[in-house]
Structure formats: structure tokens, C-alpha cells
Amino acid sequence: MIFLLLFLVGAAVLALVLLSRSHRVMNVLSLAHATAYVGIVAYALARLPLPLHADGSDYLFLDHLGAYEILVASVVFFLAALYLEGYIESLIRAEELPKRNLRLFYVAMNLLLIATAFSFASDNLAVFWIFLELTTLFSAVLVVTLNAKENIDVALKYIFIASTSMLFSFIGIILLFFLSAQATGTGTLEWSALMLHAATFSPALLLVSFLFILIGFAAKSGIAPFHTWLPHTHAKAPSAVSVVLSGAVVNMGIYGILRVFAIVHQTSALTAASWFLIGFGIFSVAVASLSMLRQRNTKRIIAFSSIEHMGVILVGIGIATRTSVFWSLAYVLAHSLAKSLLFFSAGIINRQYESNEAEDVRDIFRLQPLASLGLIVGSLTIVGMPPFLLFLPKLFIIIELGKVSLLLFFLLMLFLLIAVVAFGAFMMRLFSAVPEAGKQERIPRFPVPAKMSLTLAILITLVLALGLWFPSYVQHVIDAIVTELRF
């Protein structure tokens, strides 16, 4: 039922977008699409007995983890849709986005939401893989709608890195299928069945399969050394698209890794797999924090911080204790919200100065007070300052790492500190730029449309409120997930 409903809503919205002529209608449709998804999944999470299998199809199901991820993604899409109208209008006025691409843009946006939701709802690894590939394609389309040739290069780079890595994942998936065929007679790729039989798999082959799968999923979430596409793509995409990419699409790779790791977790391959995850995680944090030191571009530094945070989440999953996995999942939510706030603010700054370079920014407090507030709150959140949302997840993951190895604990702390310094220094530079004395610069103020301001206000409130009071309901859901995954 749920799946049919999700599909029908998606299909109806797509059809209406294709028929509609005005930007406003398309925008309202997308907004309705995301709202409907939030509603449906929230209802399923609250009222229906999970895990829920689709009637008549072996390929779809919904458990707590899937529902939680869909919810996070749909919220991000909802905020992006809210923000999108004013932003896109401004792009069209500046001739950065040709008007005839508008419909294509909205079609790709809604397709991306459908593919994201269904990837989290697929019970079959191969189907999940296919949806993951589709999200790459739709994201690439979103990136190339802008009037810039570099965007084609960037999108191609994204497609090639993501798709080639995903081919390695597919090898791993076939190996997993082979393993399950050995254990059960007829092979299966269903998450639930794999979880059931995992204990009988050959650990050595399972580890090889896990590593192959890891390559592709890590590339999708921008884990170093497969991250090279991410800063370019997120920086060149329109800001609302960057939000969707960082807030929703990047999570899919981590989700896949978590699922497969939960399978490996039940065998003796656990220790090796866990070290690989921690290693890749810390390496990502290191690469990202060191690259952040020399960034001069607002959106690029935010994009690099995505890599850093994916690294921390990976470390959290790799530690593989109940606590660390719990906080990794909370981290996913926190990161999506904080990153959305940052990219939305960066989008307003981009419209104000028509550039993402820090050196073009002048007098930001006077011209864009709300975006400045958004950037400050977002930065404080993203570096993990106490009253905000990201503080507790980060703290607990680091503490759990300390229990595993003190050396790695200090290493991670060092790189996180470098990231804080880099982020702080960048923001200082951004905010302290005033018009040069004597030379009178008159920059016309970009009038921020009400819906864009509303988006920022919602996010600032959410980040602060959730940081002070993390709802027990969400805690229950995450607890249920951790139990389902048998950590």
C-alpha cells in the first residue's frame, strides 16, 4: 500500500509537472510531492508495524532504517522546494539558467526524490544499486541545467567516478549472491534474508565482497580517496541542488555501507571490515580537513566539510558498538540539517554577489543579515559546538573511538581541530570584509524572497531546538534501527 502510494504520488506529480506551464505550479507540485512523502513515511513510522513488506513484490520493503532515511531525505527535499522558487527566479533573471530548462530541472528534481525514496525502500541489493545509479544520473542532469560549460565537465566527472566505482560494488553484490546461493541453495539479495543467513557465509569471501561493495558506496558518499568529484559537483550545482546532494543523496552510500556492514557484523570478518571502515573514515577526515585549509570558495569549503562528516559517520559505523551506531544515525540527521542550512545561506550570498569566491564578498552583515546568521549558526553547528544539534553525536563517536584506540582518538581529534580552524578562519575572512575606506562601493541589495527567508528561519530554529531537546520519539526510532541491524 505504502509503496503504491509513494509511487502514485510521484507519478502524478511528474505528469502534472510535464503538463504545467508556469514556474509557480511546478514549484508547488514539488513542494506537495515532498510534503506527501514526509506525511506518508511519518505515518508509516508512527502507526504501521515495521518492517513492512510490499504485497506481491519481493523487491520492496520498509523498516525503521529505511523509513528514517526517507524521512530525512524528504525533509531536505521539502526545504529545498520551499527555497527553490525565489532562487531559480533569480538565476533566470541573471541568465545563469535558461528558462527552457525549467521543466527539465523540476522533472529531474522530482525523479531524484522518487529514486532516493525507493532506494531506501528496496529490499534487494541489486535494486538498491540500480536506484543508486539512477540518482547519479538525475543529479548530473540537475547540475548541467545551468548555463555554464564547466558544469558539463563536472557532471561527467561525477558520473564517471560514481558509476565506475559502482561497477566494483556490483562485483561485490554478485559475490554476495554467490555466497547466499552456497548457504541456501537458491541465491538471494534480500536484506532480510541475507541478515538471516549471514552467519553461515564464508568470512574470507564475505570480506572481499564487502570491500568491493564498499568502493562504490564510498564513492557515492564522497569518502576519500573516491571523493574527488564531490567538491566540484557540490560547488558548481545550484545551491538548492547542492543541498539535496549533500543532505540526501550522499546519505545513500552510507546507508548501503551500514546495511552491508550489518551483514558482515555477524561473521568473523567483522574485525577486518571494521578496521577498513575506521581507516577510510579517518583518511577522509584528514583529506577533507587539510583541503579545507586552502579553500577560498564558500561552497567548496562547505562541500569539503561534507567529506569530513561522512568520514566521521563511517568511523562511527566502523566502531560497531550500539552506542556508536546509534550516534552515527543521529549524526546523519544532524549533518543533513546543518549542511542544508549552510548551503541555503551560501545560495543567498551567491545571489547577492553572483559569485562564490570569498574575495567578492563585502559588507555581508549589512546586505544579508539573515544569511549571515544562517552561516554563523550553520558553521557553529557543523564544527560541533555544544548547544547545537551536531555536538552530541560527534562527542559520542569520538568517545567510542577512544575506547577502541587512544592513538586513533588523538589522530581524529587533531584532524577535526584542523577542520574547525579552517572553517573558522574562512568565516572570519568572509565576515570581516568591509568596503575599502575612501572607495565607495554601492552594491545593490539582493531582495531575499519571503520563502527563502522562511527556509532559513525554519532551519536555524530546528538546529538550535533539536540541539537543546532531542525528541525521545526520534531516539526510539533510532533505537529500533540499531536493534533491527543486530548491533
Partner 1 sequence: MIDPVFALDLIKILLVLIVLSAALIITRRDFIALTSLYAAQSFLIVLLSVGLFAIDRNPLLLIIAAITLLSKVVIIPFILTKVQRRLKMKREIEFSHLSPIGAILLAVVAFFFIYALFSGILSGLDKGVLSTVVSLAICLVFMGLIIIFTRKQTITNVIGYLTMENGVLLFSLFVAELSLLIEVLILLDLIMLIVLVALMAFGIDSSIEEFHSQLNVLDRWLGREQR
Residues lying near partner 1 in the complex (CB under 8 A) = 18, 21, 98-104, 107, 124, 126-127, 130, 133-134, 137, 140-141, 144-145, 147-149, 152-153, 155-156, 159-160, 163-164, 167-168, 170-171, 174-175, 177-178, 181-182, 187, 189, 202, 204-205, 208
Minimum CB distance to partner 1 smaller for 131 or for 255: 131
Minimum CB distance to partner 1 smaller for 164 or for 461: 164
Q: How far is the CB of 61 from partner 1 (least distance, A)?
A: 16
Q: How far is residue 341's CA from residue 371's CA, in Å, rounded to a whole number?
A: 9
Minimum CB distance to partner 1 smaller for 216 or for 316: 216
Minimum CB distance to partner 1 smaller for 25 or for 134: 134
Minimum CB distance to partner 1 smaller for 92 or for 464: 92
Q: How far is residue 30's CA from residue 329's CA, in Å, rounded to a whole number?
A: 27
The DSSP letter of residue 169 is: H
163: buried, middle or exposed (CB in 10 Å: 19+, 13-18, 0-12)?
middle
Q: How far is the CB of 105 from partner 1 (least distance, A)?
A: 10
Q: How far is the CB of 74 from partner 1 (least distance, A)?
A: 23
189-209 core/surface letters (b: 16 or more CB in 10 A; e: else): bbbebbbbbbeebeeeebbbb
CA distances from 250 to 255, 313, 399, 418, 423 (A): 9, 12, 25, 23, 21
The angle subtended at Cα 71 by Cα 318 and Cα 221, nearest 5°, is 40
| Alpha helices (H) along 405-449 | 406-432
Q: How far is the CB of 97 from partner 1 (least distance, A)?
A: 10
402: buried, middle or exposed (CB in 10 Å: 19+, 13-18, 0-12)?
middle
Minimum CB distance to partner 1 smaller for 171 or for 464: 171
Minimum CB distance to partner 1 smaller for 4 or for 167: 167
Q: How far is the CB of 180 from partner 1 (least distance, A)?
A: 9
CA distances from 40 to 45, 49, 61, 206 (A): 9, 14, 14, 36
Q: How far is residue 75's CA from residue 81's CA, in Å, rounded to a whole number?
A: 10
Minimum CB distance to partner 1 smaller for 163 or for 405: 163
Q: How far is residue 288's CA from residue 307's CA, in Å, rounded to a whole number?
A: 6
Length of the chain measured in residues: 487
Q: How far is the CB of 168 from partner 1 (least distance, A)?
A: 7
Q: How far is the CB of 267 from partner 1 (least distance, A)?
A: 15
Q: How far is the CB of 134 from partner 1 (least distance, A)?
A: 7
Q: How far is the CB of 191 from partner 1 (least distance, A)?
A: 15
Q: Which residues are CB-contacts of 232 (< 8 A; sequence separation ≥ 6)? A: 154, 157, 158
Minimum CB distance to partner 1 smaller for 38 or for 102: 102
